[in-house]
Chain A
């Protein structure tokens, strides 16, 4: 049996598709109340999953990485599944690492494909996509997380729906001290275009030259309804806050259009923007990696090209804009 960790987040059921490429049967596991379980079970029926193991406990009513990991480790000890598959987002990766440490099992993270058998043959990404690693995973229960975006939802029509998804309740035994790592407060971000979800990102690097130099990038982003991003050089120079940084150690984005201004395209930056549908590079160096890998390129200085582009957009919009 394979267990897939699911929740109510959109895309969470995508991992079921990868689980089925490894083997069957596939059961689901989730954290939550009976009401959460009933709601998830309705959805799982359509995805052909006949069993949901629902982990409930008073210490699990808000996110608590140690308690979640310990609870999952106890469920693994009880069910002894062949493998457990979870989404590799921040929370999924943290809970699986906690469970792996507590169950003393190996864990392969950031997987993009897996072939079942013993051992499992898998491919995982390293360095945010810099390299691929082929690896073998040997364990009584094999734990993996799926690289975000790699799961690929199996078409529901291809999956035979089941009549019923049975909810099996599981109550772990959790020491009260595990509440020490539990969320005690939250603040919610204000509205506005966020770097992670913007359809257009206008990003600047060394070639922008100064903090003040970003004014023209802000202006262009405003005209395009987009967000402003930057490279690690800009953050390290104190030109932009780290929350604007695109890259391996910043935010990984996949906008429709990425406009890279004065960014050479080192690997650390490239892996953060390579999933953009289109890339326009503006750079004085025609040999810069960002220029050669982009969809479109303009050879020139950011401070010559961008003001002209802004003026052209305003001119085409008419005199009143």
Chain B
């Protein structure tokens, strides 16, 4: 099975999310970066599918050249090949991101993919649409919010996809090739091994430059949400605080 996983490089903020002076981005001078949690599960799932059924995992990221860091992390997890779609430093709108991914997939067209995995939404911008736009452009079926993937059918040519909804679980059966947008909880991603990291560090990435046209949604500025919370009321220290805690629980009607 040939699997493509699309991942995004996102800041890993702590408790505060600092902004740049022009309010166009998160100020990442003092922050690390990571693969979005949904996409990390997508990489893990792809590696497991290929371990079970054979084939290759290709991982793709669009953005500045620094996305190589996230591609190498995915390679260290067990992906076979990394594709960097170099779209420059500026944040792309979701139509432009989808165009960049579609361009890259068409460039790689010599080996068509059986399965294309996306995160359900990115951890930073959260537009909830890039995977669907790419699938639609490529004529692939796609279902979002997926938390379970099983290969199905005698010929292994269908996938059984599960997703959580408020009332329980919905099941979809889709023919390959297909796309799916997955959520964290699909699996527990592995930590890369040391040999995996060493191999990933030396791996050659395929770079595809692309300058997408802007779509119809234009970011003007980012803002911190207004927070008018007052400082916490400290009820006490250690076990001695228990009576004060239960007083509050009674006041709130919790006991």
Contacts and interface: CB of A to CB of B under 8 A. Distances in A.
A295 B224 contact: no
A298 interface: yes
B235 A180 contact: no
Interface residues of B: mostly helix, strand, loop or mixed? mixed
B170 A299 contact: no
A18 to B, nearest CB: 17
B222 A133 contact: yes
Nearest to B180: A181
B249 A313 contact: yes
Nearest to B191: A236
Contacts of A128: 126
B154 interface: no
Contacts of B124: 126-127, 130
A185 B215 CA distance: 37
B141 A180 contact: yes
Given A63-B170, A300-B237, A316-B246, A100 B220 contact: no
A184 B160 CA distance: 10
Interface string B138-150: 0001111100000
B95 interface: yes
B216 interface: yes
Interface string A271-289: 0000000101100001001
Contacts of B145: 90, 94
Given A107-B217, A311-B242, A297 B233 contact: yes
A298 B245 contact: yes
Given A90-B144, A127-B123, A134-B220, A109 B129 contact: yes
Contact of A236 (B128, B167, B188): B188
Nearest to B236: A298
B185 interface: yes
A250 B237 CA distance: 31
B127 to A, nearest CB: 6
Contacts of A139: 216
Given A180-B175, A186-B169, A224-B249, A293 B132 contact: no
Contacts of B37: 232, 248-249, 268
B232 A100 contact: no
B15 A267 contact: yes
Given A94-B145, A127-B126, A264-B15, A249 B172 contact: no
A106 B93 contact: yes
Given A138-B218, A313-B249, A297 B167 contact: no
B104 to A, nearest CB: 17
B239 A94 contact: no
Interface residues of B, number: 80
A273 to B, nearest CB: 13
A70 to B, nearest CB: 9
B169 A187 contact: yes
A232 to B, nearest CB: 8
A23 interface: no
Nearest to A270: B15
Contacts of A196: 166
B243 to A, nearest CB: 6
Contact of A183 (B135, B172, B188): B172
B52 interface: no
Interface of A: 63, 65-66, 69, 88, 90-91, 93-94, 97-98, 100-102, 105-110, 119, 121, 125-139, 142, 145, 180-189, 196, 199-200, 223-224, 226, 232, 235-236, 238, 242-243, 245, 248-250, 256-257, 264-268, 270, 278, 280-281, 286, 289, 291-301, 304-305, 307-309, 311-313, 316-317
9 contacts: A125-B126, A132-B224, A182-B172, A183-B172, A224-B249, A242-B185, A266-B13, A280-B248, A300-B239
Given A185-B171, A226-B254, A278-B252, 18 more contacts: A65-B142, A88-B128, A90-B144, A101-B137, A110-B126, A130-B225, A131-B19, A137-B218, A181-B141, A189-B167, A249-B38, A256-B253, A257-B252, A286-B234, A289-B14, A295-B232, A296-B248, A308-B240
